[in-house]
Structure 1
């Protein structure tokens, strides 16, 4: 009897070990497969319109967290790289008639070069000075874009017309990709890029390079004493973070059908910081959960108008919930107080672990 059961137990253990090892790729695939139908349910948003925007901002938040969560360096200027990806595509399409598949890599490369140049200048000055200098660079580049150099950026008006690739068509408010004689929703194009980019980020953070970044974050002096060139690792962390942020930008420009000056604004940089902290910067999925929560809260609260309240009947809450950032901020404070570094993702994981342990105890009893 034992001979028959042991292979089954071994096979089950191997399966569980494989699932545990590849839980991030499995989670990424489940995310892109379930996001649209889940948020489109009538009990939630009732529409899948913002699903592609959610994926793009999830990628941006995950890219930002490569620097903040894994390297311990806070950047207030990451809108630089998102905006460079956006304007790189918009300028290439509108002014130079470049194909999207040429303009997008150019935008990503330019963003990488800018990130590398900035990092070489400011890494090594300490965390506070690093954060302030990224903000200074962000403000400087925002000023340049607003000045509309050589008529390329459109100044305060941004770039709208002529920034959509010819293989994307809009039909009844939905963007459709037409390639190879077939057509599919823009969401699936964004999802493919999202999966490839997030898997690449996952490989980076679990590689020796990523583990070295964590060691530097936890104790930079000890890492230096071990012979690690901390500045070199931080420069490349900043550069890679900027590159993946620009990839998100190359998607956002076709999702929004244009480029806007606010993409370089302070609010854009602040929002991605809040998403990462709220979601949990200690986890790979933390910033992704934070970006989802941000967009879901905004859409759900701003579209909620009437609520049934016991004893009071139906109450019009539309004017109140228009200030959705206040309620999200309150939730942010609650999560940070209960789980300072773990964030929402860590808080949910801790509850799930308790439930799982309790169920295991009940089953054993």
Structure 2
């Protein structure tokens, strides 16, 4: 009887531990599942996690191989508009062998748990220690069952605007691109364009100050923007006139961020920060961290540090860190050091 009670108690404890390590953390386009020991069970499934339009699950099954599955949670959305995903998987075992397996880039429609199964050759039979499974989504697209190519959800077009708003935006677009009654000239590094003082003044307090005070811009009706190309400046004007398209915004968002900071356009600055948070990866995280520090973007800075330290991605950019440490602001490096201490402090 005593042994039976002990067995039941041990099983309950095991069940509680298994329930506690099913949570998946997400940031930007990365999902990470951490759990300790595979234990006696042959199958483990994560809690659902939201990424893009869908809720997802990860699952791992052990046999001769470790089988990793990624699939959307069954729903009306995943049935009517199944995701077409482009992604990379990484499985790390931090036990004695400290092995890591990285999948090729996967591209496929995902409807259920049978659509993607990745067999990992677990020849060492390492089921103990801490497991980390990373899924990095390179793109997520919506498949239309009626046919046609899948369309990316990044960047999203947003909700359909009302007819009156569309008409107003078409008018603003004509004013800008056809130069209707323009009254100010903008000189950039490689070209000239025309705009309207009233629109610029309504969108930026810096431009308003230029035209209501006795400054050279008011007298000459000319603005010198010598730190932007004509293409980037047109993207800025398109934003100010409300006619910018998502691909144009994404292409020029770093230049737009600098302009938003210079001309005190907080809405544009926030939009750039949110956009830069959406696609943090190992190739751009250090650049994003520099931008966050330069323009005082706390959410972006926190996102980059979380990506590097909480998600352990700092180990993927060892070669880039040397040059970064030589050029980065010392206060930024101090903040990174404190973040590292916080993450690696003893439990």
Give the TM-score band, short-chain normalised.
under 0.3
Flag the structure with higher strand content.
2
Bigger radius of gyration, 1 or 2?
A: 2
Specify which structure has the higher proportion of helix.
1
